[in-house]
Amino acid sequence: MKIALYGQKFIDKNIPYFIKFLTYAYKHSIEIYIEKSFFDLLSSFNELKNLKFPIFYNYNELTKDFNLMFTFGGDGTILYAITLIRDTGIPIVGVNTGNLGFLATFNQEVLIKKLDQIFNYKFHICPRSLLWLETSILDKKKQFFNFALNEIVILRKETVSMITIDTYIDNKFLTSYWADGLIISTPTGSTGYSLSCGGPIIAPDNKNFVITPISPHNLFSRPLIISDNKRIHLKIHSRGHVQYYSLSMDTRLTSLKEENELYIKKAPFYIYLIQEQEYIYYKTLREKLLWGMDQRN
């Protein structure tokens, strides 16, 4: 078996679990490749400074013969990891060393207990849809990854004035949002930025996207759920002399001129997340959102 490891942060209390993980992999002849920046971070700890594992540097080196990728961190770590995995179909085991962890559902103690199950393929694979920004306007030199697992967000830039976002669904005019911005979210991202702006929670197995305005100036603007087989077309207009707007795709941010129109649809591939066999999405919602924690219940 061949696996990849990736993380963005690492602290002392994670070391014992990580050593147990490496020891298990070594005993079971599992090939480990570590992303370069994560390898450098791990090597900064005395207990891990003598690590001797192959390194990979970018997505070109993550070939389809990798069986799994383990991410150590939170949901943000997984969001960046998909820029490495892309359309290879390599499943992700999200190890939650962060805080909330909607996507990274294995805590470190559970991971160690479940290693036999994971490496013997006794788990549930959850496919997650992505948004695809169809555009040639992004700077190719920056290698901007134009897919998003959570959401694509359009935001006003360097102004307190609202922007106007003309929105079309399958070339049919929907409305012009007067707002601070607009969120196009997948079911996975429905528990993120969209939720904080009043959007609905959508279970991951639904085939939908949600359009959520940010601080809309239209009194009756509300989030809208649409089928994920629709194509969204956006035209952005700003007030005054500002001719740019901000475009966010998960954790990646760039600026575009307002003359640049956006076309968004469902990506032609999925990201696959590994969950425990007994994993129940609604249980995760209940625990992460503290449903029922009111003492009156």
The rounded average pLDDT for each run of 10 residues, N- to C-terminus, in the chain (297 residues) is 95 94 95 96 93 93 95 94 96 88 88 94 94 75 80 89 94 96 97 95 96 92 96 90 88 89 96 87 85 69
With contact defined as beta carbons under 8 Å apart, do 156 and 238 qualify? yes
Residues 260, 169, single domain; the answer is yes
**Residues labelled as active-site residues:** 75
Nearest CA-CA partner of 11 in 93, 92, 75, 98:
98
3-state class (DSSP) for residue 48: helix
- Residue 294: what residue type? D
Q: Which of 250, 260, 255 is nearest to 165 (CA)?
A: 260
What residues pair up with 273 in beta bridges, in sequence order?
Answer: 92, 126
What confidence score (pLDDT) does residue 141 get? 43
Q: How many residues appear in the chain?
A: 297
pTM of the model as a whole: 0.92
256 shares a domain with 284: no
Tokens for 119? 């490496």
Ramachandran category for residue 143: left, alpha or beta (phi over 0 → left; psi -120 to 50 → alpha): left
Residues 20 and 92 in one domain: yes
| 5: three-class secondary structure by DSSP | strand
Indicate whether 139 and 211 sit together in one domain.
Answer: yes
Answer yes or no: do 149 and 254 share one domain.
Answer: yes
Number of domains in the chain: 2
CA geometry: angle at 265 spanning 131 and 194, to 5°? 50
Contact between 280 and 204 under an 8 Å Cβ cutoff? The reply is: no
Q: What is the DSSP string of 218-249?
A: STT---EEEETT--EEEEEEESTT--EEEEEE
Residue 200 lies in a domain: yes
Considering all CA atoms of the chain, what is the largest pairwise distance in Å, rounded to the nearest integer? Answer: 64
What is the model's pLDDT at position 136? 62
Q: Tell me the residue range of the domain where 101 lies.
A: 2-129+270-288
Tokens linked to 5: 């490891």
User: Is the same domain home to 251 and 141?
Assistant: yes
CATH of the domain at 177: 2.60.200.30
* CA–CA dist 20, 31 (Å, integer): 15
297 within a domain of the structure (yes/no): no
